[in-house]
Structures are given as C-alpha cells and as structure tokens.
Amino acid sequence: MQRYFVPAINFSDNTVTIEGDDVHHITRVMRMESGDEIICNHPSGKAAICKILTVSDQEVVVSINNWLEQSAELPIHVTVAQGLPKGDKLELILQKGTELGATGFIPFQASRSVVKWDNKKVAKKIERFKKIVKEASEQSHRTILPHVESIETIQSLVANSAFYDHKFVAYEETTRELPTKKLSYYFDQITTGEKVLICIGPEGGFSESEITKLHTAGFESIRLGPRILRTETAALYALASLSYHFEERE
C-alpha cells in the first residue's frame, strides 16, 4: 500500500488533506480514485490506513480508517555526518541510509572534500536531498522522516555533537595501525532510545587536524572491518551493522 508523509497541520480528527507533489503522484502516477486506500504518516511517527474521499488538482482528502501499531524504526537514533563526496555519491548515501534506518544526515565540508558549494547551490541541493529521503522513507515503510541538515563545517559539527549520547568516527588509520576494538564492543554500550552520531570522511579521508578536533570532542575511532571502504560504503556498513546488532541478533 502506497505511503505518504503528511504535515501535522493537515490532519484533523477523522480526515487528512494531502497537498503538493503527492497529489500529482496519487492522481497521475498511481492513478488512484475515490475508494482507494493509502497510508498516511503523521510527523509524530504514527501511521494510519486511509480511504480516498475526494480528488482534485489541488488536494486529495482521505478519511482515517484505523491507526497502525507497527513501526519499522531502529530502536536507537542514528545520525550520519558525511564529509561531502564527489558526484552523486551523497544522494546514494541518503537513499540507502534512509532504507537502513538512519534518523538524520549532516553533510559537512571537510578539508579534503573536492566539491565546494556556495549558499545558492546548498539551498537547491538540500531541497533535492529532502525529496530523496522522503521517497526512500515511503518506499521502505518508515514511520519517521529522517532530517537532512544544511551543510556544516567541522567546527559546527563538533559543537553540535554535544547533544549526542555516543559519537564515533570511521578513521581509516584505525584499520591500518591504531589499536581498536570490535564494533560490538562499542555497540554494546548503546542502549535503546539513545542518540548516536557516526562521522564519515570524504574520499581523501580526514586531515590530522580534523581527527584531533573530533577526538578532543569525545569521538571514538571505530573500525569498519579490516578493509578500506569507499566513503559511500562506510556509512551503509555502519548502519547495517547497527541494524543487525539491535534488530536481528538474538
């Protein structure tokens, strides 16, 4: 059943009003009509099976049949801080990271990031990123829409990291020579409901200055297996490992 994320203001006691691009998707792409059923997600994380009442070019009005009890969310809140990579790699990370259960994404301008975005480009990119996350959330039956922050600097990332319970940085030198522990050691320290921040560098990795700042702010270096991963693989490896640890391991 097709799922749509709807702003809280569009929910009433018994009906939901859908507006914007989703109207086009319902009427032109899915070719739905009165009587068809969809799922509407409330920003609180609740979802309801709804029946279409009326359809127009501007809005689709549905009635709430019943609220669902199920949830497809990770039992912890994981935010991925991603150093800006080249090309469309960030779009892949956002899409697949959403499918794997990330709560949010923080793109940041690392010193070794090849791409440099001005303010005008940032606004346009963030708008597209949010659309990618929304579509991936609907496809994967998420009940929470992950947030996508604007582009940060390493300084603002470090400052904002104070609001997380656990902070990790995937550092390639950990794989090569630094002493480290298995991921399970760090994951065992996390309890249900806590906030986790995982920091991933761009293609060239982190500079020594950035790593020093992160370590000083309390980030722990983690090893994502014995091999050096591409930047677009690292976040997905970490999220998949967390999913197994908290959702599939007996």
**Domain stops at, among 28, 43, 68:** 68
Pair (59, 174) in one structural domain: no
Pair (121, 192) in one structural domain: yes
Pair (34, 107) in one structural domain: no
Q: How far apart are CA 23 and CA 145, in angstroms?
A: 19
Tally of domains in the chain: 2
Pair (166, 236) in one structural domain: yes
**CATH at 33:** 2.40.240.20
Token output for 51: 């029946």
Coarse DSSP helix, strand, coil percentages of the chain, rounded to the nearest 5 percent: 35, 25, 40
pLDDT at 177: 57
Q: How far apart are CA 79 and CA 219, in angstroms?
A: 14
Where helices occur in the chain by DSSP H, the ranges are 21-24, 89-99, 119-139, 154-160, 172-176, 183-187, 208-216, 231-243
Q: 49 Cβ partners below 8 Å, 6+ apart?
A: 1, 37, 38, 39, 64, 65, 66, 68
Name the 3-class secondary structure at 164: coil
**Domain stops at, among 46, 68, 90:** 68
pLDDT at 176: 56
Pair (96, 64) in one structural domain: no
Q: Residue 175 half-sphere exposure, CB side, CA atoms within 13 Å?
A: 13
**CATH at 185:** 3.40.1280.10
Pair (90, 56) in one structural domain: no
**Domain stops at, among 27, 50, 68:** 68
Pair (119, 204) in one structural domain: yes
Pair (22, 125) in one structural domain: no
Pair (116, 23) in one structural domain: no
Residue 34 lies in domain:
3-68
In order along the chain (250 residues), what is the average pLDDT of each group of 10 residues? 95 95 95 96 94 96 93 94 96 98 97 87 91 95 95 95 97 63 93 97 94 96 90 96 91
Pair (128, 227) in one structural domain: yes
Q: How far apart are CA 147 and CA 105, in angstroms?
A: 6
Residue 161, H or E segment: none
Pair (133, 234) in one structural domain: yes
Pair (131, 243) in one structural domain: yes
